[in-house]
Structure 1
């Protein structure tokens, strides 16, 4: 996987990453957001994203969709928090990175088929988030790049003449 997002200093050890840890971290961040505490909420979403990224390397086949959903929710919630904090460039970069990360997961042949399929299914959500952002704020170059990457990755291979 070649995500542009990199884990923060406080990310958990790979052996500590789990869906229950992600759920606890996400619940705490959502609680902070609901209390209007956007900076602590963003920090929590960043931690949740770090956990979700680690889960991509250890997702059990039976929970692949849950692990990919955790990744998408983490990216999108962190993007929303960054936008609320006035960090528009970081917010759009996270939206686009979410989409590109899913595409990369889908295209990696060494990944579990269940993880690859889940990544492809969830590109609908990230695609829509980018389209909605472009509708509301104009087409950012990162959005155009991410949408183009999706188009290239997902269009059927054209037959080459011999």
Structure 2
């Protein structure tokens, strides 16, 4: 019994001394010096023509606004309520809950400057941020950004609508 325990212990010791080269490899620290490469840096530049997977499709979506239809406006309303209402408010006057709690108010979408702004302006602001607003590019895909832009335009139109421009509604009013 004692001999078996001694053999088992010696086997455990021998296996513990096994070559550790696969577990303890030399490595370069991130952005550290590396004598292996001619430029002396471990960070390798990307080869010419490299495109991240999915970026081409996203770029094409960002370049072309979809046709504004009822489905796009519904999606825009949904995304606007999720991402924009806290600061811009439900009707786009810049009076959201965050503003009520002391955050600086964003501009109203109903100012002459923003009513005259091209749709691309709103898309770019959602994508890159502006002033105190941070970028939503990582949170909102391009198609949803365009949907939000379409809904912002609908909000702008709703606040300046004239009864004469919607005659069927005028007939329904008492």
Question: Same fold, TM exceeding 0.5?
Answer: no
Normalised by the shorter chain, which TM-score bucket?
A: under 0.3
TM-score by length of structure 2 reads: 0.23
| Higher helix proportion | 1
Bigger CA radius of gyration? 2
